[in-house]
């Protein structure tokens, strides 16, 4: 009997040791591009980094434990090189027309739609017709952004020469330029403008926002071929966030339209446009 008990205790001890010595698979890290793009990403290189992207990554990380999505700071002009050289795996809130042509990777429809709008200072008698023509008006633009009216050509010299553009790195500065009479029209994302007025409600009557759109943002994610997560798996996680209402909770408050369903990956077999 004692021999049987010894054997049983030995088996139990072996089971316990085996349990704790079995390696636990760590979550695979997915590096997500964080380029300053308010309200989606705000000051990604700082300790106070914020925006819709960090909220979305928190939701993705809370949904599962197989992947850990982390934001890696980059810059708008540098994100293409970082993507191709493997420093980032995933670029979110992109559009294939914004310089990604010919760069290998999956294009994943996020089912999120924003828009670029024209904003002017509100003045007596000024109507929507003010936005009919841009010629002769001083434009305040964000350096590095691709605008529909300019054929998505983001070259600063081209914009300054052809459209009398003043280029900055701050939407706030561009809107203040309108109020101070230093610019006639600023272009901002609809989500940013809504976020700005939420922060400065006293200025709501100071601006005239256009009904005319410069462009609609049909947001995509771009996933590099060697990323730790597949396009199908990432799309599956997005569908779960959509079904749970997390996407609407995060993006809806700023006027970003959340589609009931997205088209998923639109990449061709070799991962290029």
Provide the pLDDT for residue 273: 39
Provide the pLDDT for residue 268: 41
What confidence tens digit (pLDDT) does each residue in 186-219 have? Answer: 999 999 999 999 999 999 999 999 999 998 988 9
- Which of 57-61, 65-69, 115-119, 146-150 shows the lowest per-residue confidence on average (mean pLDDT)? 146-150
Q: Where in the chain is the domain with CATH 3.40.190.10?
A: 28-113+218-265, 115-216
Q: By the 8 A CB rule, do 75 and 145 touch?
A: no
Question: Which superfamily, per CATH, for 115-216?
Answer: Periplasmic binding protein-like II (3.40.190.10)
Average pLDDT of the chain? Answer: 87
- Of residues 129 and 11, more confidently modeled: 129
Name the pLDDT band for 32 (thresholds 50, 70, 90): very high
Name the pLDDT band for 70 (thresholds 50, 70, 90): very high
Name the pLDDT band for 270 (thresholds 50, 70, 90): very low
Mean pLDDT value of segment 155-167:
94
Q: Are strands 207-223 and 106-121 parallel, antiparallel or unpaired?
A: antiparallel
Provide the pLDDT for residue 155: 93
Domain 28-113+218-265 annotated CATH 3.40.228.10: no
Q: How far is CA 239 from CA 62, 96, 230, in A?
A: 14, 21, 14
CA distance 62 to 53: 14
Provide the pLDDT for residue 95: 81
Is this structure's pTM higher than 0.85?
no
What confidence tens digit (pLDDT) does each residue in 47-56 have? Answer: 888 999 999 9
Mean pLDDT value of segment 73-81:
88
Asked whether the predicted pLDDT for residue 24 surpasses 70, the reply is no
Provide the pLDDT for residue 19: 45
Secondary structure (DSSP) of the chain: -HHHHHHHHHHHHHHHHHHHHSPPPPPEEEEEEE--BTTTBB-TTSTT-BSHHHHHHHHHHHH-SSEEEEEEE--TTTHHHHHHTTS-SEEEEE-TTTT-TT--SEEEEEEEEEEEEEEEE--TT--GGGGS--TT--EEEETT---GGGTT---HHHHHHHH-EEEES-HHHHHHHHHTTS-SEEEEEHHHHHHHHHH-GGGGGGEEEEEEEEEEEEEEEEE-TT-SS-HHHHHHHHHHHHHHTHHHHHHGGGT-EE-SS--EE---TTS--
Task: State what percent of residues in the chain have pLDDT above 90.
Answer: 66
Query: How open is the CA angle 107-109-111, to the nearest 5 degrees?
Result: 165
């Amino acid at each position: 009997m004692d021999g049987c008990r010894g054997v049983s205790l030995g088996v139990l001890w072996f089971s316990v040791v085996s349990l704790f010595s079995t390696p636990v698979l760590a979550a695979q890290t997915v590096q997500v591009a964080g380029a300053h793009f308010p309200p989606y990403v705000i000051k990604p290189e700082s300790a106070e980094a914020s925006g819709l992207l960090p909220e979305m990554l928190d939701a993705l990380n809370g949904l599962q434990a197989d992947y850990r999505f982390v934001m890696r700071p980059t810059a708008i002009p540098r994100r293409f090189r970082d993507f191709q050289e493997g420093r980032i795996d995933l670029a979110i809130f992109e559009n294939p027309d914004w310089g990604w042509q010919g760069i290998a990777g999956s294009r994943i429809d996020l089912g999120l739609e924003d828009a670029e709008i024209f904003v002017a200072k509100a003045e007596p008698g000024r109507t929507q017709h003010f936005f009919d023509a841009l010629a002769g008006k001083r434009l305040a633009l964000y350096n590095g952004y691709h605008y529909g009216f300019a054929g998505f050509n983001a070259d600063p010299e081209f914009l300054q020469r052809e459209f009398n553009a003043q280029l900055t790195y701050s939407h706030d500065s561009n809107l203040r330029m309108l109020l101070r009479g230093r610019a006639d029209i600023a272009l901002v994302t609809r989500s940013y403008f809504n976020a700005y007025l939420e922060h400065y409600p006293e200025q709501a009557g100071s601006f005239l926002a256009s009904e005319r759109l410069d462009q609609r943002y049909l947001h995509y994610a771009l996933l590099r071929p060697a990323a730790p997560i597949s396009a199908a798996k990432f799309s599956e996680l997005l569908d779960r966030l959509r079904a749970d209402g997390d996407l609407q909770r995060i993006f809806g408050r700023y006027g970003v339209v959340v589609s009931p369903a997205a088209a998923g990956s639109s990449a061709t077999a070799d991962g290029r446009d």
